[in-house]
Amino acid sequence: MIKKYLILAILVLFQSHLYAKTHHVNKTTHPFLVIDKSAEVSKSKIIEKAQEYLGVSYGFGNKNEIKTDCSGFTQQVFKEFGLSLPGSAALQSKYGSKVDLKDLQVGDLLFYRTYKREPSHVAIYAGNGQIIHASYRSKKVQYDDIDKRYYKQRFMYAKRLALSEQNLATQQN
């Protein structure tokens, strides 16, 4: 059943891409990722928004201001800036440009392998070696040190999302 939905999603994505290429459309929507081109964002505003969730309870599969999981947290934060992210860390990891750890900027997404081979946890880089995320272990949204052993061992890669007038075609890697 999951394979059918995955195949369908891939076909929709591929068809959308072909249509945009053949019709020279400046595509600003994607089945999951929608960019509001008017969203010029300072990186500090992302963290200000993320801080509003500090202390919110963790709830796997929840995506609201009362309870949230890691991908729900990033979804809610980036939605405020015109980005509509998909509902899982694995799907969110498909977007953006890979970034070296030494080149991290505030607002970059960090992906971790926690309970399966693909990314299963996502956090927002807050600067100064800190991430802000919905922690399953602590059961709340909080800051953590990027060099904390638990996260260092599970880190996969970081991605930077375009939050300005960039073409969506370059958004997914």
C-alpha 84/C-alpha 80 separation (Å) is 9
DSSP assigned state of 66: S
Residue 84 φ/ψ, nearest 5 degrees: -105, 100
Q: Which helix (H) or strand (E) holds 126?
A: strand 121-127
What residue type is assigned to position 1 of the chain?
A: M
70 noted as active-site residue: yes
Choose the catalytic residue: 17, 23, 30, 70.
Answer: 70
Distances (CA, A) of 11 to 14, 31, 56, 139: 5, 11, 37, 37
DSSP assigned state of 141: E
Alpha helix segments (H runs only) across 36-173: 43-51, 70-79, 89-92, 149-154
17 noted as active-site residue: no
DSSP assigned state of 172: B
121 noted as active-site residue: yes
Active site residues: 70, 121, 133
